Amino acid sequence: MNKPKDSTGHKNSQELIIEGASCASCVAKIETALKRIDGVDNAQMNFALRTVVVDGEVDSEDLVQAIESIGYNARSAEDTSDDELLDEKEIADQKYYTSLMRKMWIALGLGVPLMIYSIAGGPMTVETTLERGIWLFIGLLCAAIMYFAGKHFYVGAWKSFVNHSANMDTLIALGTGTAWIYSMVVVFFPMAVPEMARHVYFEATAMIIGLIDLGLALEVKARGRTSEAIKRLIGLQAKTARVVRDKKEVDIAIEQVLLNDIVRVRPGEKIPVDGLVIEGHTSIDESMLTGEPMPVAKEEEDEIVAGTLNKTGSILFKATRVGKDTALAQIINMVKRAQNSKPPIGRLADAISAYFVPVVMIISIVSALVWLNFGPDPALAFAIVSATTVLIIACPCALGLATPMSVMVGVGKAAEAGVLIRNGEALQTASKITAMILDKTGTITEGSPTVTDILVADKSYTEKYILTIASSIESRSEHPLAQAIVDSAIAQEIDPEDISDFQAIAGHGIEAKLEDHHLLFGNQKLMFKKGVFLGEFVSKAQKLADEAKTPMYLAIDNKLAAIIAVSDPIKEDSIEAIKRLQSSGIRVVMLTGDNRATANAVAKKVGIKEVFAEVLPEDKSNKVAELQAQNEIVGMTGDGINDAPALALANVGFAIGTGTDVAIESADITLMRGSLHGLADAIAVSKATLRNIKQNLFGAFIYNVAGVPFAAGILYPFFGLLLSPVIAGAAMAFSSLTVVSNANRLRFFKPKEH
């Protein structure tokens, strides 16, 4: 088993998926190349499925290499999918649970009757020979139970001891071992022990093992629930796809779908891989990925993503991303990675855990010594009880589990709402954001502006002529508002004119030439700069801006020709979502390159008081720095493409996605839904998760800080209280279960929307 290749690489029969095999003659070529490899007995290719089955003792990597050397791509069909891994994990967990429960019954089968006997007042002491005989029998029974129900603790403890490390097993093994050995000493050599200390603790040993087994079993169950969100995501993957091969539609396993395959999806079916629609139209429910409840209409040339649900029409599409490259596979990967990453708040617990177990061992020895030196009679019995109880009650697991369990559930919960959190650090910082900068276009607004008004200043031009000139200029511009003018011209079937000497003046507009005419198209600043007289049109433009429209001036030969107003509608739920952000105490600031009057009008509509207007694209990150200099923890939300530097500089960068494009690398948090509610949800989830982590850490710290001294007997001199090792065992078993269960509470977290 130590040589992994023997267990996975060499097989008697294995299947490969071939890519790039386009004609039947490839079959012979591939088969021959494979058969030439030493160890291959036979190779048979299924051309329709593009798979090849190879018999013989040979490493799969050698096969892949041979196929690649003749110009095709190949991969093993037996790479275990996420789905199978998950099933295997569930089966393994279930088996582990069953075995722990069986061990628990064995241990409690002896422990509980003994416990009842001792509570009922039965003597647990060794005085007569008969008692010695009975206790010897019970002691041996207890040893058998330690072997059957607790072997894993002792083996684990020993192995880690040899390896110079110590863990929970060490504490349990030492604690129960001490109790048992002391009891056996009392049974065999009662004379060596003071009369009052001739007490046996077999019931403690059996009970502790049973209770901790029970705790572990319940923890396995509870832990299974923490990965519910990822299970749901993995479950979105379709198992088969209906692919057109050789002009026929065949159902094949999802792993066998190749790039550029033509795939058929009928109503009610899941989209199996990512692709582009080439025939038909339909509406697709993407809510499982983006959290967006409304189905999205799709027609030819539209992108569709794996895992979403086809609602109405039957479509054919071309596969553009398959296997591990689909958006869904990437989302799953990202969520998994983020779930396993640790926010800084967990570092203290990590630092402590390195010292925890040895420190507890030392405390246990010190406690025994104090009892022996200063304790009342029977000091030896007190010393043994306190040493054992200290070892048993201390729970490094609760401390270690506190952070990862909550992160696991919190990140999963966020993914359910269409919020992808990159790592634990982003999660933690998002919970502390004090100021949020929202980019206007595409974030607060739809990002799809339209022409609303054309005010002609020089009556010698028609509206159509104005639009012709404007769209001719704008067809060469990359400005976000330019598209609106071009679209408007296309809608009116206007053909653009040839313009020359095109020159973009950043932050102002455009200068160009049409035949002999000199053209200026841009904002007021541009007109002032070039000395164009605006007259009464200044106030007309102001009026448009007050209506949240963006006025643009067109001057022909330095004379104002017209004002074109473009407006970008505000997303319908922006107002509400911004209110949610503000009510959670966040200072919301709007950022835009648009003119001040329009920016103010938009801000007023959505209830934002602070505006950075007329900001050049390259200055966006300066505005982030400006707020950071005011000691704010700054979140920046933008589309992730134009705002990349600002997103990167912000304490947390949020990329507001258009659907399922997750390839936004500059963002700490990706919002797959266009709505700003996603942003408010992201912050709400991160706050809830951090609160949950703090509860867990606090609970685990307090438990250990209070429990260990109590177990050592610190209350005895004052109140005569000493903890029983059995109670300590129960407390320990349930402390880590409590942590996992508390983390699981996050599953029921619902952001307060609408």
Distance (Å) of CA 429 to CA 166, 499, 689: 33, 50, 12
User: 430 or 545: whose CB is closer to another protein?
Assistant: 430
What's the closest the beta carbon of residue 332 comes to another protein, in angstroms? Answer: 12
Element containing residue 599 per DSSP (H, E): helix 596-606
User: 93 or 131: whose CB is closer to another protein?
Assistant: 93
User: 225 or 525: whose CB is closer to another protein?
Assistant: 225
Cα separation, 625 vs 715, in Å, equals: 55
Give catalytic status of residue 439 as yes or no.
yes
Residue 314: strand, helix, or coil: coil
User: 222 or 603: whose CB is closer to another protein?
Assistant: 222
Whether the CA torsion 524, 529, 532, 538 is positive or negative: it is: positive
CA-wise closest residue to 225 among 744, 749, 736: 744
Catalytic entry in 213, 439, 594, 639: 439
- What crossing angle do the helices spanning 596-606 and 574-583 adopt, rounded to 10°? 70
How many CA atoms within 13 Å lie on the side-chain side of 462?
3
Cα separation, 752 vs 754, in Å, equals: 7
Distance (Å) of CA 303 to CA 49, 264, 366, 420, 720: 25, 14, 68, 20, 73
What's the closest the beta carbon of residue 502 comes to another protein, in angstroms? Answer: 46
435 close to 586: Cβ distance less than 8 angstroms: yes
Q: Which stretches of the chain bind another protein, using CB under 8 A? A: 1-4, 7-8, 80, 85, 88-89, 92-93, 95-96, 99, 152, 155-157, 159-161, 163-169, 216, 219-220, 223, 336-337, 340-342, 350, 353-355, 357-358, 361-362, 365-366, 368-369, 372-373, 396-397, 399-401, 404, 423
What's the closest the beta carbon of residue 140 comes to another protein, in angstroms? Answer: 25
What's the closest the beta carbon of residue 426 comes to another protein, in angstroms? Answer: 12
Q: Are strands 435-439 and 634-638 parallel, antiparallel or unpaired?
A: parallel
Whether the CA torsion 556, 558, 562, 563 is positive or negative: it is: positive
625 close to 647: Cβ distance less than 8 angstroms: no
What's the closest the beta carbon of residue 358 comes to another protein, in angstroms? Answer: 4
What's the closest the beta carbon of residue 237 comes to another protein, in angstroms? Answer: 17
What's the closest the beta carbon of residue 548 comes to another protein, in angstroms? Answer: 43
Cα separation, 52 vs 46, in Å, equals: 6
Cα separation, 673 vs 419, in Å, equals: 8
User: 353 or 450: whose CB is closer to another protein?
Assistant: 353
User: 219 or 632: whose CB is closer to another protein?
Assistant: 219
Tell me 492's DSSP state: T
CA-wise closest residue to 333 among 558, 659, 662: 662
What's the closest the beta carbon of residue 106 comes to another protein, in angstroms? Answer: 18
Q: Are strands 652-656 and 669-671 parallel, antiparallel or unpaired?
A: parallel
User: 595 or 666: whose CB is closer to another protein?
Assistant: 666
User: 304 or 334: whose CB is closer to another protein?
Assistant: 334
Q: Locate tokens 């966006």: which residue?
A: 620
How many CA atoms within 13 Å lie on the side-chain side of 460?
4
Cα separation, 44 vs 177, in Å, equals: 60
Which residues does the annotation mark as catalytic?
439
